[in-house]
Amino acid sequence: MIKPLGSDKLNPLYVMDDAKRAALVKEAEGLPSILVSSAAAANAVMLGGGYFNPFTGYMNVADAVSVAKDMRTTSGQFWPTPILNVVPDASAIKGAKRIALKDPNVAGNPVIAIQDVEAIEEFTDAQMAEMTKAVYGTDDPEHVGVAAFNGVGKTCISGPIQVLNYSYFDKEFPGTFRTAYQLREEMGKLGWEKVVAFQTRNPMHLAHEELCRMAYNDEKMDGILIHMLLGKLKKGDIPADVRDACIRKMVEVYFEPNTVLVTGYGFDMLYAGPREAVLHACFRQNCGCTLLIVGRDHAGVGDYYGPFDAQTIFDGISKNDLQIDIYRADHTAYSKKLDRVVMMNRVTDHTKEDFVLLSGTKVREMLGKGIKPPKEFSRPEVAEILINYYQSIQ
C-alpha cells in the first residue's frame, strides 16, 4: 500500500489506550472549555482517524493563509485546505494553555478533544477574503461553502490535539464509519496493494457503478474503496443513511464478493471543487489507496467550477508532494448503440441521441412519483430505496 502523506507511518490522534483516554476525559472536566463549530469538530474526527496525517492539530493564521494561497504550510508541508478551529469569541479560554473542545453535533455537547493552545489569533477581513477566494474560487456569499467558512467567526485557536471520540459518526454509522488506520488494516487483511477510491456524497447510479468498474479493470486494481461522506451536507442532498443503504444494495447484488469495501468518513462537505478534490486525494493516500477517481465537477456546487477544473488542478502538483494517482473520468452514460455504460469521450461516433441522458431534476421527479428511472440509468433495487425515501418526505 502507498505511504501516508508526509510521513512513513500514519499518526492518528485518537487516544487508543483506554486508561489514558479515561484519564483525559476526567481531566477535561476541570479544563476551560469552548463549544467549537461543526467544521472544527469534523476536523478533529479526521485528525483523530489519521486522515489528516501528518498534522498534529489545528493550524495557526500564518499556516492557514499559506495553505490557502500556495497549498503548502510555512514549513513546506503540502496540503490543500486550512485545518482550523475558528470561533466567534475566545474570551472564555483567555490565558488558558490547555482546553476542552465541546462537540456541537452531539446532545449535551460532550468533549471531543483536548487542545494545547499555542496561539489565539484573529484573522483580518483581508485574510478571510484571501483564503475564501483561494480555497473556494469565489467569494460569492450564496456559495454554500463560502457561507459556512465565513460564518463561524475569525478567532483562530491553534495547537495540537488529543482526540477522545469520533463524535456521532461511529455510533450512527457503526457498520460504515472507518478511520484511515482501520481501512489500512482491512485492506491489508484482504491482500489489497492497489486500491481505487470512489468519493461520493450521493447514491450511486449505474454510471457511477460502471465508472468504478472501469477504473478497477483499466488500472488492474486489487480492490475498490467506495468511500462516502457521512457529515453535514447542503439542503436537498440525500441523507447518509439512505445513501448507505443504496450503495450497499448495489454492491451486494452487482459486484463480485471481496472486491469492494463500502465505508464512510466523518467530515462536513466543503463544496470547494478543485481544492476539495485535492483534499480527497490527500486523505485517500493516507488510507492507503493508490488511485482516486476524479469525475466531472468533482466536489462542486452550482456553476462555480468548470467541468474539468477538479482534474486539471492536479497537473500542477508534484509527485514529491502527492503520490496517489488520479483516474480522470469524463461524463458517463448508457450507450444505446453498445448496450452498456461508456465514457462519453471514448465513443466519438455517438451523437446525443445515442445516449440515455436524464437530468437530476427529472430523476428526482420520477422517484417522488414512485416511478423507477429506466434500467439504463439506475439499478431497480437502488431506485426502490430512493422511491421510499422521496415519498416519505412529501
Residues marked as catalytic: 201-202
d(CA 102, CA 390): 34
Neighbours of 189 (CB within 10 A): 8
Which SS3 state, helix, strand or coil, does residue 169 take? Answer: helix
d(CA 130, CA 221): 40
Residue with cell 446525443: 352
Contacts of 28 (CB under 8 A, 6+ apart): 100, 111, 114, 164
SS3 content of the chain, % helix, strand, coil (to 5): 35, 20, 45
Paired sense of beta strands 111-116 and 57-58, if any: unpaired
- Output the CA torsion sign for 132, 304, 318, 13: positive
Which SS3 state, helix, strand or coil, does residue 359 take? Answer: coil
Which set of grid coordinates corresponds to residue 160?
Answer: 495540537
Q: 281, 323 in Cβ contact below 8 A?
A: no
223: left (phi over 0), alpha (psi -120 to 50) or beta: beta
Neighbours of 266 (CB within 10 A): 26
Residue 228 CA, chain-centre distance (Å), reads 7
Q: How many Cα neighbours within 13 Å face the side chain of 370?
A: 3
